[in-house]
Amino acid sequence: MKKTQNPPEKPQQNVLFSQPEAEQTEKLSENPLEAVKNAFDITCKQAFLQNPEGALRLMGIPGKVTLIEKNVELQRTSDLKVDLAFWVEYPVGSKEYPDKFLLHIEFQRQAQKNMPLRMAEYNMELALANAERDKKGRILNYPKIRSYVLYFWPKEGKDDPENCSIEQVIEVRYRKILLYEKTLADLKQMALWEYMAFAPILKGMDEQQLNEAKELLEQYAGKDDKKRSRLLLTLAFYFKRKYKRNINEIIPNFDTMISKTAETGYYALTPEEARKEREDGMAEGMAEGMAKGIQKVLAMLSEAQREKIKQRLGEENGKFKS
């Protein structure tokens, strides 16, 4: 594969990833922009959908397997929603896992103190929702469940105990996978092309590898402009968040590589700009909601009552304007 040559270094920037920057571990705050959030969610899941065997190798699950049912949902009434769950089956006679099992994955940008309890709750809900039952609904067998938490942001999840133990009540174990401890070479070996979008947070990244990740993403996306835009948006967002620099400084004219849609500028927003956009959006949403609510109330009234209320509202608006 022909690699893009490194752009000439600027005099004031002799090293791309200086030691202080590379060790920076500021927590990745929740970005309120839906385009960025959706790009993250879709990219996390697509790696498993596009290349399940490679994704399972990332989880440390060996051998050839078959995903016999995708997107297992919690079928019981619950506020919980799993990020991803599959029924997984090994070939008949396999020594690794003779029976099929439920593979459950949660994607985390940053650690949460209640993660063990959440994983226990997910485990119980998945077990009850997918238990084998007789004709009367009585439980015969619970499914085997293997749960994982995939952490993205550097140093996040290191203290995750990987279990939830409540004495004489429940004992749930799961595994954590730290994506930021993987290298670009690791992801290439597993053919996890979607996860090249997270290249800035991978171990041992440098300018040459960043350019290579960009090339691999473009080759993988091909003529699919929507996919290309999503992946490059994710790459730029994570670069900006980790190194506090615009990716255009490293890959000239990067912003022109993303389709000219409303999402193209999101990666460049500062947290303050993002916060302001969120507040503006909330205010707009509240105003729209109030307007819809008023319309619903008016529809329930008689014509005379509606006219009286409209007149009253007009008078109140006149007071505010004056």
Question: DSSP characters for 95-118?
Answer: SS-SS-EEEEEEEESS--TTHHHH
- Please give the pLDDT value at position 26: 37
- Please give the pLDDT value at position 201: 96
- Please give the pLDDT value at position 79: 62
Q: How far apart are the C-alpha atoms of 104 and 82, rounded to whole Å?
A: 8
Other CB atoms closer than 10 Å to residue 101's CB: what's the count?
17
In this prediction, the residues of the chain whose per-residue pLDDT falls under 50 are 1-32, 75-77, 259-274, 277-278, 316, 319-322
- Please give the pLDDT value at position 315: 56
Q: How far apart are the C-alpha atoms of 60 and 315, rounded to whole Å?
A: 68
SS3 261: coil
CA angle 227, 231, 235 (to 5 degrees): 170
Cite the DSSP H helix spans in the chain.
19-22, 34-50, 52-58, 115-129, 184-189, 207-221, 225-243, 271-299, 303-321
- Please give the pLDDT value at position 170: 82
Q: How far apart are the C-alpha atoms of 177 and 181, rounded to whole Å?
A: 9
- Please give the pLDDT value at position 257: 66
- Please give the pLDDT value at position 3: 41
